[in-house]
Structures are given as structure tokens and as C-alpha cells.
Amino acid sequence: MSDNQQIYLPPMGCGTWAWGNRLLWNYDTSIDRQLQEVFNTCVTNGVTLFDTGDSYGTGKLKGRSEILLGKFDREYQGVNKHNICLATKLAPYPWRLTRGAMVAAGKASAERLGRNIDLVQMHWSTANYFPLQEWQLLDGLGDLYEKGLVKGVGLSNYGAKRLKKVHQKFQARGIPIKTLQVQYSLLSTYPVTELGVKEVCDELGIKLIAYSPLALGLLTGKYSEKGNLPSGLRRWVCKQILPESRSLLATLEAIATAKNKTMAQVALNWCICKGTIPIPGAKNPQQAKQNIGALGWYLDSGEVMELDKAAAEVKKPMVQNIFQSK
């Protein structure tokens, strides 16, 4: 990677994917202003990695997430301005069949962001249902890098076996894979404990990004089996998982109380202690500040082991992303 293509990866990110539903159906300038405040709060406090995707904000508000993120980046003029890293994921839609289509998708995302992409990622692998398409799109991802249109290349929802194959392909072109993004939390350890992605990432020099590190809010302690459940699909998820997670949540709460932290902060710090960059969502400045409170300290080894044990005993963890490859 040349000197003018260095990509700065901070210890923790803020995933714009969490804004999805509001961006899809509820466009409101007051929400935009609130999200701008979230962005400003994060950057001011050294959280400068922002992850989104070209599929976030579809339908009538196509690409809205990237548009807003680019706007926030341009308007922010405070500290850490030059450390801001804008990451996006390009979806392998069925109509994207050639490497040229991937290059065009990257250029479209850059146009919405208002500048070149710092980190471009393949949103998921098509190996399970259309492997020929995947290699074409990965070639296009590499082309974006070689053309100087992106600073770094990453993957999302890839398992260890597939990661090794893609790494070999990119290595032949002299293109480093900077990051791998997987669903990882105390309620979703599968990619690490069963697929072994962390071990392979460490071997290949790839940074692991943990998305959904708070398991849709289940690890924050705000939901209860007896009430206070979210609406829609999250309500069903909570009813399925909460009864099986009592011991884990009790352990999480006990450690949080002992350290004078929130359960969310302990859950995020656990991800950091595991050598990952968690990217929690934040819909308002209060949530952003709570997430930031996970930085600047570490769980001790005994606490990490205690949480590991409690997590391993959960019989019904989070459902894995259907696009997660092996």
C-alpha cells in the first residue's frame, strides 16, 4: 500500500447500519441533525471509523445512509478530522455480474459519500449460491484499489476457509485485505469459536470487525422476559433468546456493577479484549456517549474468562447471518 493510501483503523467504530430502519422510511431533517450530533460526538472522542453499505437506505431513499455520512464528514471541522475513516460495503446484487459492475458500484458510493472510500468491503460471499459471480466482483473490488479509488479492501460475512482462498487471490495481485467483518458478540461467538476466523485473521494480518456487538440490544439489559420488549422482529428474537440467556446476562450485570460500568459497555469491552473492533450503532448522542464509555479500560483476564464461560453455556444464541460463509 503506497504512502498516500494509508488507512487509519481506530480501536472502535460506529456502525451506521444501525440507522437503517429510520433511514428507509422515516426521513426527517430533525433526525439528520441528531445523527450529525452522534457523528460529532464520536469523532470528538476519538471514535472515527464509520461503517455503512450501499444497500442501507434502499427504495425511495436509495443510498441515504452514504449520503448522510458524507454530509456529516464534510461538515465536521473539529479534532480528529483527518483520522475519519469512511467504510462502506458493496452488495453482490444478482444484477452485478462483472468486475466492471463492482467498479461502477464503488464509484457510485464514492459519489454519494462526496469523496473516495477509505475502506470498501464485499458485503457478503456468494460462494454458497453463485461462486462464479463472487470471483468477478472480487476482481472488481481489487480494481477499485489498483485504480486508487479506495484506500483499503475488506470482506464481510466470510468464514476462515473462504477467507484464505480470497486472500490468496488478492495476494497474487499485491492487494492486502485490511479487514474482515462478522457478526460477533457474547451471544454470537460462532465465527470465532467454530469457524476460527480470528486465528486466520491474526495469521494473515487482517483486523476483525465485530458487527452487532450488542446483539440487537439484548446485551444492554434494557429488555426483560416479563415486559419491556421491542416491537417487530426484535420482539420475537427477544422472546426466543432471553430465557436461555439468563445466566449470561446475570454475569454481565454483576461485572458491570462491580466495575461501575453499564452492561453495554462491558459487552463492548469484551469484544475489544478479544482483539476486535466492535461497531455498535447509535441513534442519539446518549447512546453514542454510552458506547464511548467502553474505551479507556479493560476487563481483567478473570472477567473475560467468566464471560466466555457464561456465553458458551447459552443453548440458544443469536441466529447467524444467512450469508455467513465457511
- One DSSP character per residue, 234-257 reads HHHHHHHHGGGGHHHHHHHHHHHH
**CA 84 to chain CA centroid, nearest Å:** 16
Determine the pLDDT at residue 27.
Answer: 52
Determine the pLDDT at residue 290.
Answer: 95
Burial class (CB in 10 A: 0-12, 13-18, 19+), 62: middle
Determine the pLDDT at residue 121.
Answer: 98
Determine the pLDDT at residue 5.
Answer: 53
Determine the pLDDT at residue 20.
Answer: 33
Which cell is 251 given? Answer: 454475569
- Taking 70 as the pLDDT cut, the residues of the chain under it are 1-6, 8, 10-11, 15-28, 58-61
Q: How confident is the model over 293-312, as pLDDT tens digits?
A: 999 999 999 999 999 999 99
Determine the pLDDT at residue 321.
Answer: 87
Which CATH superfamily groups domain 3-312?
Answer: NADP-dependent oxidoreductase domain (3.20.20.100)
Determine the pLDDT at residue 24.
Answer: 35
The residues, ordered by sequence, that sit 6+ positions from 82 with a Cβ below 8 Å of its Cβ are none
Which entry of 56, 158, 184, 211 is annotated as an active-site residue?
Answer: 56
> Where on the phi/psi map is residue 228: left (φ > 0), alpha (ψ -120 to 50), or beta?
left
Domain residue limits, the chain:
3-312
Determine the pLDDT at residue 145.
Answer: 98
3-state secondary structure of 122: strand
Determine the pLDDT at residue 139.
Answer: 98
Catalytic site residue 27? no
* Strand-pair category, 117-122 with 13-15: unpaired
Name the β-bridge partners of 153. 120, 177
Determine the pLDDT at residue 228.
Answer: 78
Q: Report d(CA 184, CA 191) in Å as an integer.
A: 7
